[in-house]
Every structure is written in C-alpha cells, then in structure tokens.
Amino acid sequence: MRLLVTGGCGFIGSNFIRYILQHYKPAYVTNVDVLTYAGNFANLDGVVEEHGQRYEFFKADIANADEMDALMTEHQFYAVINFAAESHVDRSINSPLNFIHTNVVGTSVLLDCARRHGVQRFIQISTDEVYGSDLLALASYKTYGQEVLVTRCSNNYGPYQFPEKLIPLMIIKALRGEPLPVYGDGMNVRDWIHVADHCAAIVAALFEGKPGTIYNFGGNGEMVNMDVVRMILDKLGKPHSLISFVTDRLGHDRRYAIDSSLAQRELNWKPQRNFNEGLDETIQWYIDSQAWWQLLLERTGRY
C-alpha cells in the first residue's frame, strides 16, 4: 500500500509520516513538499535510515498539474492525504494569494489527478477555520463518486511545529527570557489537540471513514490563551512579567470549539493525551531540540 502525503515536511505532515511508518509496516509513503518556510527536511531526520525504501521524497508544487500527473503515473497510490496548505492566519491577511494557490488551486489539481489515476481514497486535512478547499473535495465526491473524506481539527501542538504558532512561540520566547507577545486581552479560547492524537485520527479516517463524510477531531482541551501562556511560564519557572500584550489580530475569533463525537463513534477514536501532560511533553521536546529551532529561526530570518 503506497500513500501520497503532500506537505509532509511540515508540522502535522511530518508527524503523520513518522506515525504511519511506525504503526503500519506494509505502508509505503511518498512525500511531496514544495519546501516553503515551514517545510523543513530536519522534521524527518532519521526516517530514511529507519524505514529505508518505504519512504521517498519529491520536491514539487501540488498546484503544478504536470508534476502531479507524472508522479501518479509513476506510482499506483492507494490514497492521497493532503496536508499541503498555508495555515498561519497573519500570513493569510498579508498574502492571501499564496493561500489561494496552495489551499484551493492545489487541492483542485490533486483531486483531479487522483480521480484520473484511479486513486482509491482522498483525505483532505482541513481545520475548524477554512471551508473553501473542503467544498472542492466534497464536490468531487458528490459529482464523480470519488472516495473523498474531509477531516477538520482544532489547534494542534507538539514536536516540530514552526515557532510562529502560540505554544512553540511562547516556549521559545520564555526559554530566551524574552517578552511573550499576547494578542489583545489574551482571553481567546482554543481547543488543543496533540499532533499524535490527530495523526491517529487521520489513520482511523483513512481505513474506517465513510466517503463523503466530514470528521471533526478535537482534543477536549479548551483553554483560554492567557492560561496557556501562564502554564508555560510556570512550567519553565519564568515570571509572568514576561507577558507583553500587543495589538489584537484583525478579525481575531473569540472562541473555537469542536464536536468530535461522530469521529469517536464511527472511527473508534478518541484523544489520548490530556493537555497538561501533552504540554509537558512539548515543552521538554523544545528544550531538548534547541539546535533544531535555533537553526530554523536563523534560516528563515525570524529572529
């Protein structure tokens, strides 16, 4: 069984590749990533050494129909799992065309190529925030009978996350003793799901999900942003005086909540990590992986 994983050098995609190769020995994975700022080879260090020919990488843009067509001609894929997407809200405000190119055009190209090449399943990895590319995926199911499923998750956290998102940014700033920038009054609420729980949910959808269905994945971990920031400071033994309130993000949603009961019933899945334990693991990973994120920040010119 060969899987085409797009965006596999990103945060969730790289965690998924590690998960599927570790837990499903017959699986082969082809990883396609265009390597934007958030796509990092280091996220998959050791995968080739551990899994050999069960893993391969191609640098390509999913919106390039010729490249995707050539790849699907070369390999017979059982499924496409599409993680490739621009995801940072601030960047969507400043550069919306990049989001349209990858999230909408790229998804459309992948759906078309997968249908023409007889790919059995298509898993569209989405979020609780965007719906445009979801509608393209569901239209392919309704129009062509393509075995498409859509997954929508709440906020992910865990290892290899690019340090522009709340949790890794706060951890790194705290480790450096720098001010922690918090939008607005910090009272926005998010539901947090550990990336390993999300990967397990995607695998369950891949093998057990019903075509045409939307599955929501949440972590049962709604938290006020300020409480998350304070937890990180407390766990690192840093003072709350490092918190620095900054101008709120444009259109900043007050609360995200997600109902994952359908996924739990139909896929026999539920999140395993509670937020406190998962946050401890994540903080320790960033402490142990300072060389990784320092090199990443230098390469991208973030700090």
Q: Is 218 exposed, middle or buried (0-12, 13-18, 19+ CB in 10 A)?
A: buried
Per-residue model confidence (pLDDT) at position 94: 67
In contact, 164 and 302? CB cutoff 8 Å: yes
| pLDDT, mean of residues 41-70 | 94
Nearest of 79, 93, 104, 243 to residue 177 by alpha carbon: 243
Quick one: pLDDT band at residue 303, thresholds 50, 70, 90?
low
Chain segment 130-181, per-residue pLDDT in tens: 555 587 788 889 888 999 999 999 999 999 998 889 999 999 999 999 999 9
Handedness of CA 303, 35, 285, 127 (dihedral sign): positive
- Number of other residues whose CB lies within 10 A of the CB of residue 272: 12
| pLDDT, mean of residues 49-63 | 94
What is the crossing angle of helices 275-288 and 166-176, to 10°?
A: 50
Nearest of 192, 264, 191, 217 to residue 123 by alpha carbon: 217
- The angle formed by the CA atoms of residues 301, 18 and 34, to the nearest 5 degrees, is 45
- Domains of the chain (ranges; CATH) run 2-300 (3.40.50.720)
Q: What are phi and psi of 75, to 5 degrees?
A: -120, 145
Share of the chain residues as helix, strand and coil, in percent rounded to the nearest 5: 50, 20, 35
d(CA 174, CA 178): 6
Beta bridge partners of 245: 182
- The angle formed by the CA atoms of residues 221, 13 and 70, to the nearest 5 degrees, is 150
Chain segment 62-92, per-residue pLDDT in tens: 999 999 999 999 999 999 999 987 655 566 5
Chain segment 215-257, per-residue pLDDT in tens: 999 999 899 999 999 999 999 999 999 999 999 988 899 999 8
What is the crossing angle of helices 166-176 and 225-236, to 10°?
A: 40
d(CA 68, CA 32): 9
User: Residue 130 has what DSSP assignment?
Assistant: -
Q: Point out the least confidently predicted range of 7-11, 84-88, 113-117, 198-202.
A: 84-88
Cα→Cα distances 277→18, 38, 256, Å: 21, 26, 21
In contact, 48 and 55? CB cutoff 8 Å: yes
Half-sphere exposure of 2 (CA within 13 A, CB side): 15
In contact, 1 and 27? CB cutoff 8 Å: yes
Nearest of 211, 231, 212, 213 to residue 221 by alpha carbon: 231
In contact, 201 and 151? CB cutoff 8 Å: yes
Compute the chain's Rg from CA coordinates. Answer: 19
Can you count the helices (H) and strands (E) in the chain? 13, 12
